[in-house]
Amino acid sequence: MSDSLRVVTGGGGRSATSAGSGSPRRVALLSLHTSPLEQPGTGDAGGMNVYVLQTARRLARRGVEVEVFTRATSSEHPPLVRVEPGLLVRNIIAGPFEGLGKNDLPAQLCAFAAGVLRVEARHEPGYYDLVHSHYWLSGQVGWLARERMGAPLVHTAHTLARVKNAALAEGEPAEPRVRVIGEQQVVDEADRLVANTSVEAEQLVRLYGADPAAVVTVEPGVDLDCFTPGERSEARRTLRAAGVVLPPDPVVLTFVGRIQPLKAPDVLLRAAARLLAEEPRLRGRLAVLVVGGPSGSGLQEPEALQKLAGELGITDVVTFLPPRSGAELADVYRASDVVAVPSHNESFGLVALEAQACGTPVVAADVGGLSVAVVDGSTGLLVPSHAPEDWAAALRAVALPATGSPDEVPESVRSRAAGVRPENAVRHANDFSWDRTTDGLLRAYRQAALAFGRGVRDAGGAGTGTDGEGRGVSSDADGSSPEEAVRTVERTLRDRDLDFDHASPGRFLVRLPGNGSNGRVAGSWSGATGCSSRRSCAAAPTRTRPGSTTSCSGATPGCTGCTTRSTRTVTSTWWGGWGRTP
């Protein structure tokens, strides 16, 4: 097959990439609310940005072309950024560049979707083999893109509103209903949902009724080239040289992340104040570093943490540093005795992994994915509350193991802390890599392609299409099975000596002989479905996969679960593609 003819694979098809058989050739990756090219650690740019960039780079290096679609937030952003071979970032204009918060973005979904679909429309049908949406806002667009592009949808939530709302920081506003509903819709529509940990997988099933078979757990990674162990004293020298004031022989406790109540940096400050109250001599040694910028509801009061430090009387020990990355961030981790992650929730918590990769133990809240990111009593400690006294005890036990009375550090904390070792932290972090995450994503992509193809086949109906020369290709008769329709197409193509490749059960790519122009090789199935809802029906509780008919006719007595009960005819691409000759 010529290089110029793209082979879409999936469901056992051929793949010319090193990503493995059945992997997509080109992925449309949606990252609407924040760009992978933004500096993480402030505003909405956090672990998701790191995740998207790291995995997109690795997919591209394995031969999967990746196009990231994000919303342009500056007139300076060019429409297209070539990040590296195989990886493009497209800045889509959807609403004003500046001044929109995350809660304003639902109003821009239509504009963003139009931008994505316009890009797609400039290409031959079947150009993108898969859509991967990140965060619920992108998922909304992904859902539409799936249908218009005829490509499977994989979705990663990164954070779930229902989970967040169950553990809000004091005074923190709840995530709005529109997000909860929006997330539910995406859960219902996606071919595969990627969960960061088994904890999140369980939450998707329990709180959103996700089909367990549609949830794939893929743990995030850490940049093991950047975040490596190093000499603490050397890192401290580097920080001092860069203007960070550290006392002699310091005890450095650090927070890294977006500054907002959910991340609870206040817990670290309160615990530090408590440590100083317990042991005033510490004042000459204690340094609390807070690295990051305001985010989320923290934007309303960007100085709140500085104010709290003042109220606690610890302004002299706390240093606020603006967001940084790469080697500079690695030095912050290495310079620290402990990195604290006191969040009220984390679907994972990349900071915890990065610190450990640098050989620094982590004291983290025992919430969400942090119980996977940190091994209690080995790579750090997990604290079951946000009470300053519990945090002071845990921080003291790890950073100052020989100090503290039994009142201050209970034996259970002390004994767990005794097992915490930098080498354990490094070893644990080394189990996570972005390459491993990329393997997991490719697994999810292959499953999604199969599920998508199966859904299309299961729908039933008749197949029709045209070959590269515009001649009709159709299945034998109305009502014949889709498998029969596919076989008819195969027969027809063979009869015409057209070389073809099976994409997934529902897709073909055909090498067209002749003049080098594109030709359409596409078809559609159509069939009556009983119900346009893909949600499970209480009367006929079989959950169907997207693209397939539901088992509920809408007329089923007792049907309550379907949002739309009318019968409708669904038409969707079931095979197709374009061939291009050299």
Ligand X SMILES: CC(=O)N[C@H]1[C@@H](O[C@@H]2[C@H](O)[C@H](OP(=O)(O)O)[C@@H](O)[C@H](O)[C@H]2O)O[C@H](CO)[C@@H](O)[C@@H]1O
Ligand Y SMILES: O=c1ccn([C@@H]2O[C@H](COP(=O)(O)OP(=O)(O)O)[C@@H](O)[C@H]2O)c(=O)[nH]1
Count CA atoms closer than 13 A to 217's CA, side-chain side: 14
Tokens of 456: 């299309």
Which of ligand X, Mg ion, ligand Y, none does 257 bind, CB closer than 5 to 8 A by kind?
Answer: ligand Y
**Binding to ligand Y (CB under 6 A): which residues in 221-280?**
256-258
- How many Cβ atoms are within 10 Å of 397's Cβ, its own excluded? 25
The HSE-up count of residue 326 (CA atoms within 13 Å, CB side) is 2
Asked if residue 349 binds ligand Y (CB under 6 A), the reply is yes
Residues in Cβ contact with 295 at an 8 Å cutoff, skipping those fewer than 6 apart: 42, 43, 44, 46, 258, 259, 260, 263
Among 164, 386, 428, 507, binds ligand X (CB under 6 A): 164
Binding mask 17-46 for ligand X (x = CB under 6 A): -----------------x---------x-x
Q: Is 350 in the site for ligand Y (CB under 6 A)?
A: yes
Coil, strand or helix at 86: coil
Task: Give the nearest distance from C-beta 47 to ligand X in angstroms.
Answer: 3
Partner from ligand X, ligand Y, Mg ion, none binding residue 323, C-beta < 5-8 Å depending on class: ligand Y
Confirm or deny that 445 is annotated as ligand binding.
no
Compute the distance between CA of residue 141 and CA of residue 119 in angstroms, rounded to an integer.
Answer: 14
Residue 121 binds what, of ligand Y, ligand X, Mg ion, none (CB under 5 to 8 Å, by partner type)?
Mg ion
Find the DSSP H helices in 108-241.
Answer: 109-121, 135-149, 161-165, 177-189, 198-208, 232-241
Window contacting ligand X (CB under 6 A); options: 120-128, 180-188, 348-356, 430-438 = 348-356
Residue 265 touching ligand X (CB under 6 A): no
Give the nearest distance from C-beta 148 to Mg ion in angstroms: 8
Shortest Å, Cβ 388 to ligand Y: 22
Report the distance separating Cα 164 and Cα 364, nearest Å: 17
Q: For ligand X, which stretch binds (CB under 6 A), given 108-116, 248-256, 340-348, 381-389?
A: 340-348
Q: How far is C-alpha 524 from the chain's CA centre? A: 32
From the CB of 508, what's the least distance to Mg ion, in Å? 16
The token pair at 415 is 């004994």
- Tokens read off for 161: 């509103």
CB of 148 to ligand Y, least distance (A): 30
Q: Say whether residue 227 binds ligand X (CB under 6 A).
A: no
Beta strands in 329-418 (DSSP E): 338-341, 362-365, 380-383
Instruction: State how far the Cα of 73 lies from the Cα of 93, in Å rounded to an integer.
Output: 8
Residue 296 interacts with ligand X (CB under 6 A): yes or no: yes
Distance between CA 97 and CA 546 in Å, rounded?
Answer: 34
Beta strands 286-291; 251-256: pairing state:
parallel
Instruction: Rule CB under 6 A: say whether 51 interacts with ligand X.
Output: yes
Interface with ligand Y (CB under 6 A), residue from 169, 276, 291, 397? 291
Q: State yes or no: 346 annotated in a binding site.
A: yes
| 47 has binding-site annotation | yes
Residue 307 annotated as part of some ligand binding site? no
| Contacting ligand X within 368-397 (CB under 6 A) | 369
Burial annotation 54-75 (CB, 10 A radius, 16+ → b, else e) = bbbbbbbbbebbbbbbbbbbee
CB of 273 within 8 A of CB of 314? yes
Q: Are 25 and 50 in contact (CB under 8 A)?
A: no
Contact segment (CB under 6 A) with ligand Y among 15-23, 231-239, 301-309, 321-329 equals: 321-329
Q: Does 159 bind ligand X (CB under 6 A)?
A: yes
Establish if 325 lies at the interface with ligand Y (CB under 6 A): yes
For residues 174 and 512, what is the distance between their CA atoms, to the nearest angstrom?
55
The H or E element containing residue 274 is helix 265-278
CB of 120 to Mg ion, least distance (A): 5
40 touches ligand Y by CB under 6 A: yes
482 touching ligand Y, by CB under 6 A: no
Nearest to 389 by CA among 559, 267, 527, 292: 267
Contact flag: residue 347 with ligand X (CB under 6 A): yes
167: burial class by Cβ within 10 Å (0-12, 13-18, 19+)? middle
Is 118 a binding residue for Mg ion by CB under 5 A? The answer is no
Establish whether 44 is an annotated binding residue.
yes
Interface with Mg ion, residue 121, by CB under 5 A:
yes
Q: Which residues pair with 80 in a beta bridge?
A: 90
What does 196 interact with, of ligand X, Mg ion, ligand Y, none (CB < 5 to 8 A by kind)?
ligand X
Whole-number Å distance between alpha carbons of 130 and 136:
17
- Find the part of the chain contacting ligand Y (CB under 6 A) among 40-48, 497-505, 507-515, 565-573: 40-48
Among ligand X, ligand Y, Mg ion, none, the one that 324 touches (CB under a kind-dependent 5 to 8 A) is ligand Y
Binding site residues, ligand Y, CB under 6 A: 40-41, 46-48, 50, 256-258, 291-292, 323-325, 329, 348-351, 354
Residues belonging to the binding site are 33, 39-40, 44-49, 102, 135, 159, 179, 258, 263, 324, 333-334, 336, 346, 354, 360
Binding site residues, ligand X, CB under 6 A: 34, 44, 46-48, 51, 102, 135, 158-159, 164, 196, 220, 262, 296, 345-350, 369
Residues belonging to the binding site for UDP-N-acetyl-alpha-D-glucosamine are 39-40, 47, 258, 263, 324, 346, 354
